[in-house]
Amino acid sequence: MSIHRTPLMDAEAVERAVARMAREVVERNGGVADLVLMGIHRRGTQIAARLADEIERAEGVDLPRGSIDITLYRDDLMAIGPRPVVGGTELPPDGIDDRTVVIVDDVQYTGRTVRAALNELMDWGRPARVLLCVLVDRGGRELPIQPDIVGRRVEVLDPEQSVEVRVPELDDRLGVDLVSTGPEAT
């Protein structure tokens, strides 16, 4: 087995996409009032932080941030063998009641992660509105959940292929790769 990486977005492309998404978030919300950004653990949290920085720079405000670890809400939790490590979930200091909550994830695929995140969010409170913002939408939905704001759409039909977002906080660089595993090339 070998791993092939094809770059989809370099650092500049990600930064440009994030800058545009930040403007769209503010536009959709009609300003920054009651806005809360919640990243999905782990890389969604990094993208959410970049979005929040961008909005704060443009609007000159401090945005409440949080992060969601969806592990305990996964629909396949009892079907998988080894237990996933449970990450911490952090609510913004003033909660999410009556706020516009922007759920941020790195890649949207089946829609199951977002379903889990929505259920978890509803157990914490009652947001006025929830928006979904993803850096890459790779298609392949198994649930009727669509993003409101998208950085880049790429149709990846082969389930053996994956779209990987890399962030400097956790990886070597900022970027998005299409990763395929296949038999060793000779």
Give the interface with other proteins as residue ranges (CB under 8 A): 69-89, 107-110, 112-113, 116, 119-120, 123-125, 159, 162
Report the relative pairing of strands 175-182 and 2-9 from DSSP bridges. antiparallel
Nearer to other proteins, 9 or 96 (CB): 96
| Least separation in angstroms between CB 162 and other proteins | 8
| Least separation in angstroms between CB 88 and other proteins | 5
Nearer to other proteins, 52 or 117 (CB): 117
Nearer to other proteins, 61 or 128 (CB): 128
| Least separation in angstroms between CB 57 and other proteins | 31
86: closest CA among 130, 116, 46, 126? 116
CA dist 121 and 9 (Å) reads 30
Residue 138 is encoded by which pair of tokens?
């790779």
Nearer to other proteins, 41 or 50 (CB): 41
170: closest CA among 84, 62, 87, 70? 87
Nearer to other proteins, 71 or 180 (CB): 71
Sheet arrangement for strand 149-153: 65-68, 35-40, 100-108, 129-137, 149-153
| Least separation in angstroms between CB 114 and other proteins | 9
| Least separation in angstroms between CB 69 and other proteins | 7
Got the DSSP string for 122-164? HHH---SEEEEEEEEE----SSS---SEEEEE-----TTEEEE
